[in-house]
Amino acid sequence: MNDAVLDFLLRLLKTPSPTGFTEQAVSLIEREVQALGLETRRTRKGALCWTLPAAPSSDPARHLAFSAHTDTLGAMVKAILPDGRLRLTQLGGYDWATIEGEYVTVHGQNGVEVTGTVVNEMQSMHVWGAKLFELRRSADNLEVRIDERTFSAADTRALGIGVGDFVSFDPRAVLTPAGYVKSRHLDNKASVAILLDLTRRLLARPAPVNVSCWITTYEEVGHGAAPGFATPEFGAADELIALDMAAVGRGQTSSEHHVTLCVKDSSGPYDHALGNRLRAAARRAGVDLRVDIYPNYSSDASAAWRAGHDLPTALIGPGVDASHAYERTHTDALDASAALIEAYCQVPD
């Protein structure tokens, strides 16, 4: 993956986009795609679409659709406490313990942005002693300590903060000299970068098929890709391949250095024939494709099926360690993912 795409990935990771608050990130992606000379379109739900037409000399028999989501885990203000601190409600599913100590930004309705830190109500070891170890972290005992002189709920409201305001987590995005990218929200901004890389590759070497790319904005809450095939870009699509992170952990075949084909998740198996076509493309391209199953996972591809879209779907993506926490992947996995989908696009039928 070239330096320009990696730079874009780091900028995207640092752009807040919790589910429901994705405009800044979508605008960043939109500018990158338009700078390549392509037209883009927004859906009424806020998703971003663009299409790469088949090579002029070809007679395309297929129209492929790829999706990736730019919405991330995050939170909203649930309550303002009497001392001016904030209680949170989750956006997406994560263990509350994984955000303890994290820096956050509260995005007020009037455009104000206030920083803070997630702490628990018994944070000081010197005050609470062993009771601190017994505390199970939850919505009832984690709170945001605001970085302003606020000592009451009235003080906090005076800053322009209210119930329902979005809260984004500091991604702490880093590219290490060894090629590791560690950051929150690699799920699924890593795959957005892969689609941008695919777009660059197909502009340099047009494919014999039509290719549409779709950046969704509500995947973390389960309905990102549900309405999409009512749009012109996707109404004619023959199949959907969702790019999303591959979960790495003990008992899994996925790896931070490889691309993975997920053949089954909590929604059931994905399309077997499409999966086999992706396996064949990997063999032709010399890509070491891992195959895995995720029992606690769903994707835009499964959301499209639940919405009733009649087309085969598949799920692939780069291996990401510590999913829904402080995540990590490697440029090897990003490169392998882009190489696989480019190889798949280059097959006429």
Q: What's the pTM?
A: 0.95
Q: Is the same domain home to 211 and 291?
A: yes
Last residue of a domain, one of 119, 140, 169: 169
Q: Do 341 and 228 sit in the same domain of this protein? A: yes
pLDDT cut 70: percent of the chain above it: 96
Specify the pLDDT at position 216: 95
**How long a stretch of residues is the chain?**
349
Residue 177 lies in a domain: no
| Residues 136 and 204 occupy one common structural domain | no
Mean pLDDT of the chain: 94
* Residues with catalytic function: 219
**What is the chain's Cα-based Rg?**
21
How would you class 286 by CB atoms within 10 Å of its CB: exposed for 0-12, middle for 13-18, buried for 19 or more? Answer: exposed
Q: Given a cut of 80, is residue 76 above it in pLDDT?
A: yes
Which structural domain range is residue 62 located in?
A: 3-72+185-345
Whole-angstrom distance, CA of residue 253 vs CA of residue 249: 8
Kindly report the CATH number assigned to the domain that includes residue 337. Answer: 3.40.630.10
What phi and psi, each to the nearest 5 degrees, are found at residue 107? -100, 100
The string of pLDDT tens digits covering residues 201-260 is: 999 999 999 999 999 999 999 888 877 665 666 667 899 999 999 999 999 999 999 999
**288 and 198, same structural domain?**
yes
For residues 61 and 192, membership in a common domain is answered with yes
Task: Give mean pLDDT, residues 88-99.
Answer: 97
- pLDDT tens for 142-156 read 999 999 999 999 999
If phi over 0 gives left and psi between -120 and 50 gives alpha, with beta otherwise, what is residue 16?
beta
Buried b (16+ CB within 10 A) or exposed e, 158-188: ebebeeebbbbbebebebeeebbbbbbbbbb
**pLDDT more than 90, % of the chain:** 86
